[in-house]
Structure 1
Amino acid sequence: MNTGDDRRGQMLPDEFDELARLAPRAVEGIRLEFINGRLCVASGRDGSHARTVQWLVRSCLDARPELWLYDQGLAIQADGAGRARPDGVLAVSGTFAGQGEWARLDGVLMVAEVTGCDAETDRRDRVEKPRAYAESGIPLYLLIDRDSAEVTVYSEPGGVRYENAHTLPFGKTVHLPEPAGFSLDTEPLKNWVR
């Protein structure tokens, strides 16, 4: 009997939310995400990954003290059915007060990802997330790629992709266009490549 449900093997957002709620949060370094109807398990975070995120937090605060780089889950994609846990979410301080685990995108200026050392990082951080973040209308996506020792700034979300992607090697100054509107000296990132 065909019920008209042709999602073969795809998980629904409610099913993911229940799984994420029940999953043990004590598992160090594991982050569950739901992108394009697919369960993603991110792992492979190491000390250099954490240090890179610390550098980014400090750099953002130094440049724009009214902003904060959050560790916040987001309801993403055009229909809000996706779930992502970026390594950083840049927004005005206090933006997510009163919101739950998967916040709305109102006020999000930029998301940032630092490549991990798990097998899925290529597909997830370099292919799926730029598309999902662009589809969501997030103005900027900053990818700090420790494998290639490069930083890519994606801007101008055009529905299914970012219209602009600017890549520079670690050591160069990277300009984050509006709505971030500041630059990052990426020289320290050379210390944390994989």
Structure 2
Amino acid sequence: MTVMAERALQSPQMSVEEFERIAAFAAKETDDAVTLEFVNGRTGVKKVADGDHNTIVMWLARRCMQMRPDLDLYQTQGLKVEQYREGRARPDAALVPEEHFAGHGEWADPSGVLLVLEVTSFDSDTDQRDRQEKPIAYGAAGIPFYLLIDRGNRTITLYSDPDPKVGYHNRRREAFGAKLSLPEPLGIELDTEKLKQYVD
């Protein structure tokens, strides 16, 4: 059964409004130590990032600043995702035009987001969340690119050509060490050799 067929058979755990109330309460009561997402109709807990995870996000931020100083890389900005904006996700980073999220609330509309980044964690939910559900959710929201840095598989994958029904039509996967181009309108070249240092 395809992921899309499985999604059609599942009923949401709760409404988006109920999730937002629970997420706000959890953030307040735990001083943001717990990050919740609502993807594919279910609540997920996003693991607190480790040092290597954060270093990878900063690695991408430096490359973006060097090659595209007109863009900002926001970390953990909440986004309304999936078809009809029924999901809520906190990507590890979102690449947007400068000051794009100024004035937005906790859960921003994804319009104008150029790329979202996820860096895998070493937990049991990573495969389902980052490799299966997030490509569908981000593609359905119309985000042009999804960049997955997969520490478990030592790969970097660029998803492109979003479609509200299937997620993304195109996927290019490279092993750490390869060069990967983020096409226009981004025009950013990534040499991923450095990523090998952050997986052991």
- TM-score for the superposition, normalised by structure 1: 0.92
1:171 alignment partner in structure 2: 177
2:189 alignment partner in structure 1: 183
Q: CA deviation at 1:70?
A: 0.5
Deviations 1:43-89 (A, max 9, x none): 15211101111111111111100001102110111211210000010
Question: Sequence identity of aligned pairs in percent?
Answer: 48
* Aligned equivalents of 1:176, 1:166: Cα separation in 2: 11
Alignment of 1:111-126 (within 5 A): 111-126=116-131
1:34 alignment partner in structure 2: 38
The runs of 5 or more residues in structure 1 that have no matched partner are 1-5
User: Number of aligned pairs?
Assistant: 188
User: Which amino acid letter does the alignment assign opposite residue 15 of structure 1?
Assistant: E
* Aligned equivalents of 2:10, 2:173: Cα separation in 1: 36
Q: CA deviation at 1:11?
A: 1.1
Pair 75,172 (structure 1): closer, same or farther in 2 beyond 3 Å: same
Match of 2:22 among 14, 19, 22: 19
Alignment of 1:124-143 (within 5 A): 124-143=129-148
Contact 1:44 1:117 in 2 (8 A): no
Tell me the secondary structure at the aligned position of residue 108 of structure 1.
coil
Which stretch shifts more, 61-70 or 179-188?
A: 179-188
Pair 80,87 (structure 1): closer, same or farther in 2 beyond 3 Å: same
Q: CA deviation at 1:27?
A: 4.9
Alignment of 1:70-149 (within 5 A): 70-71=74-75, 72-149=77-154
Contact 1:112 1:141 in 2 (8 A): yes
Alignment RMSD, CA only?
1.6
Tell me the secondary structure at the aligned position of residue 79 of structure 1.
helix
* Aligned equivalents of 2:197, 2:10: Cα separation in 1: 44
Which stretch shifts more, 140-149 or 172-181?
A: 172-181
Moved over 3 A (4+): 6-9
* Aligned equivalents of 1:8, 1:165: Cα separation in 2: 28
Tell me the secondary structure at the aligned position of residue 116 of structure 1.
coil
Deviations 1:106-131 (A, max 9, x none): 21000000001121011100000001
Pair 108,51 (structure 1): closer, same or farther in 2 beyond 3 Å: same
* Aligned equivalents of 2:80, 2:159: Cα separation in 1: 19
Tell me the secondary structure at the aligned position of residue 171 of structure 1.
coil
Pair 172,91 (structure 1): closer, same or farther in 2 beyond 3 Å: same
Contact 1:44 1:118 in 2 (8 A): no
* Aligned equivalents of 1:129, 1:57: Cα separation in 2: 21
User: Which amino acid letter does the alignment assign opposite residue 135 of structure 2?
Assistant: P
The runs of 5 or more residues in structure 2 that have no matched partner are 1-8
Contact 1:42 1:118 in 2 (8 A): no
* Aligned equivalents of 2:48, 2:153: Cα separation in 1: 17
User: Which amino acid letter does the alignment assign opposite residue 181 of structure 2?
Assistant: H
Decide which structure has greater helix share: 2
Match of 2:56 among 52, 62, 77: 52
* Aligned equivalents of 1:91, 1:9: Cα separation in 2: 30
* Aligned equivalents of 2:40, 2:60: Cα separation in 1: 27
